[in-house]
A and B are shown apart, each in its own frame.
Chain A
Amino acid sequence: MNEQRRQVLEMLAAGRITAEEADRLISALDRGQPAATATEQPKSKAKYLRVVVESSDHFGGEGPGKVNIRVPMQLLRAGVRLASLIPPQALEHANEALRKQGVPFDLTQLRPQHIEELDDQLDDLTVHVEQPDVKVQVFAE
């Protein structure tokens, strides 16, 4: 009996995992693949949203420029919460202004209960835009 198999059986004996989970783990060990376990650490949430803009353009001969902004996720959450307190008539004005700028976004649909969902989506967000003289990266970390 190898060490990993013994550990699984010990966890089963200690009641830390169910028989089904033990079976799944042993099957995974047989296949030589890692398995998702009940004791697996949950994926840590991203704490910051990073925006990096690199420009190779030499404005006024000063050399290439780089802007690196780190925004705490908490700030985004607080912003969404605050936006939900704005009266609907003001949001309509903002929507109209956004539409004029070619951003068809409905701010009235923004609700505090959507924050968690937004948060989960941001964890996997990576935007990479590359043009000859500008490179933009947006990602959560």
Chain B
Amino acid sequence: MIPQLAVINVHSGHRRHRFWVPLLPLWLVLLPLVVLLLPFYVVGCLVVGVRPVRTLSGIWQLLAAAKGAQVDVTRGTTATSIRIR
């Protein structure tokens, strides 16, 4: 399953903000675009000699595997954290 939620934490001094960004709407918005670009993608893959279905499957696996990724950056009193769920 591809990631459904990104949680962004921003901690600056005494202020703390937490954002829950649902990714599902983003995937739904991108879906028609992907369908529109599919013929160009297939032609491009055939031109460069890449198997389109396996590449698409690989990209899907890469997206699905992003679940659990986390990046924390702290600088002085400011801390930012992004977690993919």
When distances are taken between beta carbons in the complex, the residues of chain A under 8 Å from B72 are: 66-69
Specify which chain A residues have a CB less than 8 angstroms from the CB of B69 in the assembled complex.
70-72, 75
Residues of chain B with a CB closer than 8 A to A87's CB: 48-50
Closest Cβ neighbor of B79 among chain A residues: A66
Residues of B within 8 A of A65 (CB): 73-76
Min Cβ gap A126→B in Å is 19
B77 to chain A: closest CB distance in Å?
7
Interface of B is mostly: mixed
B59 touches A90 (CB 8 A): no
Chain A residue contacts of B33, Cβ below 8 A: none
Binds B, one of A15-23, A33-41, A77-85, A99-107: A77-85
Contact A75-B65, Cβ < 8 Å, known A62-B75, A66-B74: yes
Given contacts A68-B71, A72-B66, A72-B69, 11 further A-B contacts (CB under 8 A): A48-B68, A67-B74, A68-B73, A68-B74, A69-B71, A72-B65, A72-B67, A72-B68, A78-B58, A82-B59, A85-B54
Count of A interface residues, CB-CB < 8 Å: 26
Chain A nearest Cβ from B3, distance in angstroms? 11
B interface with A by C-beta (< 8 Å)? 48-51, 54-55, 58-59, 61-62, 64-78
Within 8 A of B (CB), among A42-56: 47-48
Distance from B65 Cβ to chain A, minimum over Cβ atoms (Å): 4
- State whether A79 touches B71 (Cβ < 8 A): no
A selection of 20 A-B contacts at a CB cut-off of 8 Å is A63-B76, A65-B74, A66-B72, A67-B72, A67-B74, A68-B70, A68-B72, A69-B70, A72-B68, A75-B66, A78-B58, A78-B64, A79-B62, A82-B61, A82-B62, A85-B54, A86-B50, A87-B49, A89-B49, A90-B48
Known: A69-B71, A87-B50. A78 touches B55 (CB 8 A): no
Contact of A62 among B54, B71, B78 (CB under 8 A): B78
